[in-house]
Amino acid sequence: MTPASNPTPDGSVPVTPELTDGARNFRLRMAVIDRESEVALDMTCDRYGRTVHAGAAAAARAHRNKAAVEAYTTHLAPHADALLEAARHALDELPPARHLAGWRAVLNGLAASTTEIRRALDRPDTPGSSAERAQHSALWPHLAAWADHSFIASDLADQTKHHHRAPLTGKEQQTWTERAQAAQQLGELELTESWYAADGQPITLAHLIENDDSTLVALRGDPDAPGWQVIGHYAHEYEAGKALPAPVPPGVLRADVSRFNRPVPVPEVSLQELIRDVVEGQTAGDASEALLGAVQRGYTPGPMVRLQELLETSSQFASALETVQGRQIAARLSALGRQIEFLTHEVEETAQDLGATVAVLPPHRTPVPRVRPRPAVDTAPPTPPPRAITPAHHR
């Protein structure tokens, strides 16, 4: 009998270790499968990432899909429905927060994937046939969804195990908050760890340093914005972990990103190869082409364009933190991105000017042979330099 068929008197599903362990083991197995698949697919590509062995790539994906189906059958199939039911019940018990609607959508998506997976597993095709490979390929997005998002269901199911103690009284909270604010102004409030509680409020651990004495305190709210408060003080991190609200899974920068369904990498030339092209070049055009490769835009952008994209994406990430420091760092990264954009234009113009230079390297820049000729057979080896005689030291 599955846990889902044995509800507790209040209607909830008992959260047994098998529920969350099965999901965790499936995620771990999928991580291994994904890594092995990446290695196999890399061997089917050329140096720029273009697939040159289509048959081997198709075989690698088929092996990946089959291994994922087997992992789901072993670790998750017996517990998926019960885990989702326990997660939904825990979600209904949480206080209102901005993230609850998104979590509910995740659970609904996992339930839909579970239905599709069960339908296919109930009607398996002939082992080893092309129909089975097609069936497994169709299941891969649903299996990847469980690998990507089941941690939310597991965390919700585990929320019922955490019971944090009541916060400080009003007077105590005011006193400790004033002490922490005074230490912050002196630069003696050292932040160490941060997470979000189920109600959507940030919790931050910090060391409050006073007269060479350090106390671990917990803050609620953004420490760099007005209105934060101390909600507890503790002897060490373990005590704080037992008393404070449990952390919930952090968010993602882009909702449609999947570790297990990454887009095919765009072929690109590395900066190291462009430097090598300049070193091996002999005409101004050779160096010009390498520079233009660094600032190339479009489908195969160059390293400088990629660097600008990295800065812009990191700026978006910092802004998405929704903290005072995050917004400040986002502005700095955005400014750096604009500087890279300006520099990219300068490099492009300079490269074009270099390409218009009708010139080659002068012949006196001769290469140096890397292989030295062997000495003749009857040639005596060179006399080694005399050894320096070090005077002996006597006691």
Residue 1: pLDDT over 60: no
Name which residue leads in pLDDT, 9 or 126: 126
d(CA 133, CA 137): 6
**In this predicted structure, what is the pLDDT of residue 15?**
62
Work out the percent of the chain whose per-residue pLDDT is above 70: 90
Residue 331: pLDDT over 50: yes
d(CA 311, CA 155): 32
Structure tokens at 72: 């789901």
Structure tokens at 348: 């492009």
394 band by pLDDT with thresholds 50, 70 and 90: very low
Q: Are 320 and 253 in contact (CB under 8 A)?
A: yes
In angstroms, what CA-CA distances link 58 with 40, 149, 265? 10, 26, 16
Residue 319: pLDDT over 80: yes
Residue 347: pLDDT over 90: yes
Q: Are 169 and 160 in contact (CB under 8 A)?
A: no
Q: Are 44 and 57 in contact (CB under 8 A)?
A: yes
Residue 264: pLDDT over 50: yes
d(CA 81, CA 313): 37
Q: Which helix (H) or strand (E) holds 215?
A: strand 213-220
Residue 348: pLDDT over 80: yes
What would you measure as the largest C-alpha separation in the chain, in angstroms? 100
373 band by pLDDT with thresholds 50, 70 and 90: confident
Mean pLDDT, rounded, for 79-105: 94
| Contacts by 125-129, CB closer than 8 A, 24 or more apart | none
Q: Are 244 and 203 in contact (CB under 8 A)?
A: yes
Residue 2: pLDDT over 50: no
129 band by pLDDT with thresholds 50, 70 and 90: very high
Residue 120: pLDDT over 50: yes
**In this predicted structure, what is the pLDDT of residue 390?**
53
d(CA 294, CA 145): 36
Burial 290-312 (b: 16+ CB within 10 A, else e): bbbbbbbeeeebbbbbebbeebb
Tell me, yes or no, if the pTM score tops 0.85.
no
Look-up of token digits 């570790």: 259
Name which residue leads in pLDDT, 97 or 13: 97
Mean pLDDT, rounded, for 249-275: 90
| Contacts by 110-113, CB closer than 8 A, 24 or more apart | 110/80, 110/84, 110/145, 110/146, 110/149, 110/150, 110/153, 111/84, 113/141, 113/142, 113/143, 113/145, 113/146
What dihedral angle (degrees, nearest 10) is formed by the CA atoms of 27, 32, 36, 37?
Answer: 0
Closest CA to 155 of 78, 103, 96: 103
d(CA 393, CA 230): 68
Q: What does residue 88 show for φ and ψ, rounded to 5 degrees?
A: -65, -40
Q: Which tens digit of pLDDT belongs to each residue from 171-208?
A: 999 999 999 999 999 999 999 999 999 999 999 999 99
Residue-averaged pLDDT of the chain? 90
d(CA 191, CA 339): 32
Top-ranked range on mean pLDDT: pick from 13-27, 234-248, 310-324: 310-324
**In this predicted structure, what is the pLDDT of residue 171?**
92
Q: Are 27 and 147 in contact (CB under 8 A)?
A: yes
What dihedral angle (degrees, nearest 10) is formed by the CA atoms of 92, 94, 97, 101?
Answer: -30
Helix-helix angle 17-42:80-93, to 10 degrees: 110
Residue 104: pLDDT over 80: yes
Residue 326: other Cβ atoms inside 10 A: 17
Range with the poorest average pLDDT among 1-15, 113-127, 331-345: 1-15
**In this predicted structure, what is the pLDDT of residue 202?**
95
Mean pLDDT, rounded, for 236-261: 92
Q: What three-state secondary structure class fits 124?
A: coil
Q: Which tens digit of pLDDT belongs to each residue from 152-167?
A: 999 999 876 666 666 7
Q: What three-state secondary structure class fits 73?
A: helix
**In this predicted structure, what is the pLDDT of residue 4?**
43
Structure tokens at 189: 């409030």
DSSP-H helix ranges across the chain: 17-42, 54-71, 80-93, 100-122, 130-159, 170-185, 237-243, 271-280, 284-294, 303-320, 324-356
Structure tokens at 244: 């404070």
Q: Are 190 and 197 in contact (CB under 8 A)?
A: no
Residue 72: pLDDT over 50: yes
**In this predicted structure, what is the pLDDT of residue 370?**
81
Q: Which tens digit of pLDDT belongs to each residue from 200-241?
A: 999 999 999 998 899 999 999 999 999 999 999 999 999 998
263 band by pLDDT with thresholds 50, 70 and 90: confident
